[in-house]
Structure 1
Amino acid sequence: MKKHFLFVALVLILGACRTAKVSTSKDEVAITFLHLNDVYEISPLDNGKIGGMARVATVRQNLLHENPNTITVLSGDFLSPSVTGTLRYEGKGIKGRQMVDVMNAVGVDWVCFGNHEFDLDEKDLQERINESKFNWLNSNALEKINGKLEPFGKVVNGTKMPFPKTQIYTFKNAKGEEVKMGMFGIVLPSNPKDYVWYDDFFEVARKTYNELKPQCDFVVALTHINRVDDIALAGMVPELKLIMGGHDHDNMIEKIGDVIMAKADANAKTAYIHRVVYNKATGKASVKSELKKINDQIPDNPEAAMVVKKWEDIADASFKAIGINKNEVITDLKEPLDGHESTVRNQQALMGSMIAKAMTAATPDATDCTFFNGGSIRIDDVVSGKMTQLDVLRVLPFGGKVIEVKMRGRLLEQILETGLKNKGSGGYLQWDRITYEAAKNEWYINGKLLDVNQEYKVVTSDFLLTGKERNLDFFTKTNPDIISVTDTFPEGDVRNDIRKAVIAYLKKN
Structure 2
Amino acid sequence: MKLLRKLTLLVATLALGAAWAAQPDFTLFHSNDVYEIQPVKRGKLGGAARVATLIKQLDDGRMIVTFGGDAFSPSIMSSLLKGKQMVNVFNKLGFDVAVYGNHEFDFGPEVAEQRVKESNFPWLSSNLLDKRTGEPLAGGVRFAVTEVNGVKVGFIGLIDDWLELTSPGDHAQYLDYVTVGRDLARKLKAEGADVVVALTHMDMVHDEELAAKVPEIDLILGGHDHGGMFKVVNGTLIFKAKSDWRDVGYLKVFTVPGQKPIAFLEVIPITNKIPEDPAMAEVVAGYVKILDEKLNVAIGETKVPLDARRKTVRTMESNIGNLIADAMRDYAGADVAIANGGGIRTDSVYGPGQLTRKDILAILPFGNVVISVKVSGADLLAALENGVSQVERVKGRFPQVSGLTFTYDPAAEPGKRIREVLVNGQPLDPNKTYVVAINDYMGRGGDGYAMFKDAPRVIDERSGLLLAKVVMDYIQAHSPVAPKVEGRIKTVK
Same fold? TM cut 0.5? yes
Distance 1:451 1:223, change over 3 A: same
Report whether the alignment pairs 1:183 with 2:176: no
- 2:121 — aligned with what? 134
Which of 266, 280, 290 matches 2:243?
Answer: 266
Cα distance, 1:471 vs structure 2 = 6.3
Q: Matches of 2:187 and 2:435 in 1, distance apart?
A: 52
Kept in 1, the 8 Å contact 2:323–2:483? The answer is no
Q: Matches of 1:139 and 1:116 in 2, distance apart?
A: 17
Q: Secondary structure at the match of 1:264?
A: strand
Which of 249, 259, 275 matches 1:299?
Answer: 275
Tell me the percent identity.
29
Report whether the alignment pairs 1:68 with 2:99: no
Distance 1:395 1:187, change over 3 A: farther
- 1:110 — aligned with what? 97
Report whether the alignment pairs 1:197 with 2:173: yes
Which of 56, 59, 80 matches 2:54?
Answer: 59
Q: Secondary structure at the match of 1:208?
A: helix
Q: Matches of 1:385 and 1:372 in 2, distance apart?
A: 16
Kept in 1, the 8 Å contact 2:321–2:400? The answer is no
Which of 88, 104, 109 matches 1:122?
Answer: 109
Letter in 1 for 2:113: Q
- 2:321 — aligned with what? 358
Q: Secondary structure at the match of 2:255?
A: strand
Distance 1:398 1:384, change over 3 A: closer
- 1:151 — aligned with what? 136
Letter in 2 for 1:150: E
Q: Matches of 1:40 and 1:315 in 2, distance apart?
A: 15
Provide Cα deviations, 1:311-356, integer angstroms capped at 9, x if missing partner: 11100000112379xxxxx7789xxxxxxxxxxxxxxxx9xxx99x
Q: Matches of 1:362 and 1:167 in 2, distance apart?
A: 45
Distance 1:312 1:44, change over 3 A: same
- 1:405 — aligned with what? none
- 1:79 — aligned with what? 72
Q: Secondary structure at the match of 1:279?
A: coil
Q: Matches of 1:358 and 1:278 in 2, distance apart?
A: 58
Distance 1:57 1:393, change over 3 A: farther
Letter in 2 for 1:185: G
Kept in 2, the 8 Å contact 1:75–1:112? The answer is yes
Q: Secondary structure at the match of 2:146?
A: strand
- 2:187 — aligned with what? 211
Q: Secondary structure at the match of 2:163?
A: coil
Q: Matches of 1:298 and 1:48 in 2, distance apart?
A: 12
TM-score by length of 1: 0.61
Distance 1:300 1:194, change over 3 A: same
Provide Cα deviations, 1:236-277, integer angstroms capped at 9, x if missing partner: 123432211100000111111311111111111111111111
Report whether the alignment pairs 1:170 with 2:147: yes
Q: Matches of 2:171 and 2:88 in 1, distance apart?
A: 25
Report whether the alignment pairs 1:287 with 2:263: yes
Name the Cα RMSD after superposition: 4.6
Kept in 2, the 8 Å contact 1:359–1:370? The answer is no
Report whether the alignment pairs 1:251 with 2:228: yes
Distance 1:153 1:117, change over 3 A: closer
Kept in 1, the 8 Å contact 2:325–2:337? The answer is no
Q: Matches of 2:273 and 2:108 in 1, distance apart?
A: 38
Unaligned runs of 5+ in 2: 1-18, 301-307, 327-334, 348-358, 384-397, 405-414, 422-426, 440-454, 460-473, 485-493
Kept in 2, the 8 Å contact 1:360–1:459? The answer is no
Kept in 2, the 8 Å contact 1:83–1:393? The answer is no
Q: Secondary structure at the match of 1:287?
A: strand
TM-score by length of 2: 0.62
Q: Secondary structure at the match of 2:78?
A: helix
Which of 390, 397, 401 matches 2:361?
Answer: 390
Unaligned runs of 5+ in 1: 1-22, 88-93, 155-162, 173-177, 325-329, 334-349, 364-368, 375-381, 403-410, 421-429, 435-442, 463-468, 474-486, 497-509
Q: Matches of 2:278 and 2:336 in 1, distance apart?
A: 47
